[in-house]
Each structure stands twice: as C-alpha cells, then as structure tokens.
Homo-oligomer: A and B are copies of this chain.
Amino acid sequence: MAGGQGRVLELAVLGSLHETPLHGYELRKRLNALLGMFRAFSYGSLYPCLRSLLAQGLIAEEQPAPATMVGGRSKIVYKLTAEGKERLQELLTQAGPAAWEDESFGVHFAFFRHTEAEVRLRILEGRRSRLEERLDAVRTALARTRERLDSYTLELQRHGLESVEREVRWLNELIATERRASEGPERDTTSTDE
C-alpha cells in the first residue's frame, strides 16, 4: 500500500504539526530532540509518511510570503488540516496495545497534554502490565533454567530486570499522581467502570 505508514510516526508528525507548521528537516530534528533517548526517526520513513498524510488530506503544504522562498528552492512547510486535527484527536483517544508497546509508548506519552485523563491512566496502566508480563516471563524462564549461567549472562539478566523494575516504579508514581489529580477536581469515585 502506497504510504500507509500506519503506526507511530503518524501520531508523532500530527502531534508536532499541531504545535506549529514545520518542514521535514526541522520536523525530524524536533522529533529526535524530543524522543532521542528512546528512538530515532529517519528520513526513510519520515518523507513517505509525510507524502501519505498529504495524500490523505491530513496535512497541507503551507504557502508563505514569497519573500521567504529563497532562489528556486522550495522549503515545503506542512501544516495540519481540520481533518488532521480530527485524526490526531482520534489517535490520542485510543488506549490499546498500540499505545503502550515499546516503540509507541514514548510518542504517546510525549503528547499526553492533549490526551484525556482517563486515557492517560489507561495507557500508563497498560504499559505497566506489559512490563510486568515481561518480568514474569523472564523470571520464570530464569527459574526454570537448569544449566548454570556464566557471569556475563547473569549480569545482563540482572541489569535488564533492574531497568524494567525501575520503569515499573516510575509508572507507579505517574499513575498515583494521575489518580490524585483526577480525584481532587472531581470527587467522582463511583465511575470506575471497567
């Protein structure tokens, strides 16, 4: 399919353009400054994504004052369309595995300020469950292992477990903060559906 970039880049681009119109190069810089610790987007996926979003009418080329155009160079500045804003809201509303897997969680989190409190909470909890599943899986596999492991393998396991445990603790704090914040303003404790 020509341009169904489908996943995380779409949200990242739409979310960035929601702040201000940007061109590809600058967009990538911002994205990598924002998420550089977790992932790095490349042009090989960014430009096809932009083309796809353009074809879908979710973004549009902005034509600024002609004075800004230097020489014959075209600096293609993209901005969000009304449809794009709708689509962004739609993406921000979805709380599912696509939001809390490794590759996508960071991007969703980065745009939490545009996300409803309830969705935020569900994504954080989903992420936590995901990590706990992983901890369980590795721990049981480790316990089931008969052979003695060498010190490097052990050290790798230890470091991995510790890192994931740390992230779970971080999520716990965030979840607690979210709960406190939502219990204050609206004392609605009965609507804890699902």
Contact = CB atoms under 8 A, between A and B. Distances in A.
Leading 4 A-B pairs by shortest Cβ distance: A37-B160, A33-B141, A112-B152, A113-B150
A160 B113 contact: no
Contact of A134 (B37, B134, B145, B159): B37
A interface secondary structure, majority = helix
Interface of A: 29, 32-38, 106, 109-113, 134, 137-138, 141-142, 145, 150-153, 155-157, 159-161, 163-164, 166-167, 170, 174
Given A113-B150, A163-B163, A138 B36 contact: yes
Contacts of A155: 174
Contacts of A153: 34, 110, 113
Contacts of A32: 137, 141
B37 A142 contact: no
Contact of A37 (B29, B112, B151, B164): B164
Contact of A142 (B33, B141, B156): B33
B38 A160 contact: yes
Contacts of A33: 137-138, 141-142, 145
